[in-house]
Amino acid sequence: MHITQLNRECLLHLFSFLDKNSRKSLAKTCHKLLEVFQDPLLWSLLNFHSPAELKKDNFLLGPALKYLSICWYSDRVKVCNIEDWMKNNFQKDFCNRHENTVNDFLLEVCNRSPNLRSLTLSGCGHVTDDCILLLLKNCPNLKTLKLENCVRITDQTLEAVTLYGGSLQTLHVDFCRNITQTGLERVREKCPSVMLRAERSANMIPDNKPEKKLMLEKASRKLIQL
């Protein structure tokens, strides 16, 4: 039996065992397999390992998407984690090339995938509070939100969880250095049913520009004198 003689359900099942590139390659062989590739039911789960993968045309983003993971563990993530005011020109140029990639992709998720149930972001140093806020608003069925080493995430995201995370059951904000203990306590108070984890986050040193640090030092000295 030729593969194209299988019914739609069998073909979808076979495609589900393939990675994105293999699915795309198989879809190029005939019109029937292309139709299977374009079936939204095939794309309920998406895993990405770098921002560059988000720009490829080897996947379909649609209403069937329920589980999304963007985990970047490359050494290049360290560059994105440097405070903006500390980056040299080479580092700034590197970040400029993909600074909006993940945010833009998540905005597409907001528009096309309202049934998202789980989102995991790791090493996405340019993801902003505003982006997570929009996602919480547009994906009301989101039950799991895991953020790891996302340095631009602050207490504003935690506040958005208390306002729009009505379906949320699990929240991780690990190694997010601009999260504070105050923000975490507010989530615990407002959303007691949410399983909250914040490994190292509230104990890390938050980003402060030099002039802000100087002001804090002057204020500390005045308190000591008093």
The tens digit of pLDDT for each residue in 1-50 reads 678 888 999 999 999 999 999 999 999 999 999 999 999 999 999 999 99
pLDDT > 90? residue 70 = yes
> Which H helix or E strand runs over 216?
helix 210-225
Q: What pLDDT, on the 0 to 100 scale, is given for residue 184? A: 95
d(CA 68, CA 220): 45
Mean pLDDT of the chain: 88
The amino acid at residue 177 is R
Q: Is 37 exposed, middle or buried (0-12, 13-18, 19+ CB in 10 A)?
A: buried
- The tokens for 55 are 């720009």
Q: What pLDDT, on the 0 to 100 scale, is given for residue 73? A: 85
In the DSSP assignment, the letter for residue 65 is -
Q: Is 139 exposed, middle or buried (0-12, 13-18, 19+ CB in 10 A)?
A: buried
E-state strands within 22-127: 45-48, 67-71, 118-122
pLDDT > 70? residue 205 = no
- 14 contact partners, CB below 8 Å, separation of at least 6: 3, 6
| Predicted structure pTM score | 0.84
pLDDT > 90? residue 160 = yes
Start-to-end C-alpha separation, the chain: 88
pLDDT > 80? residue 91 = no
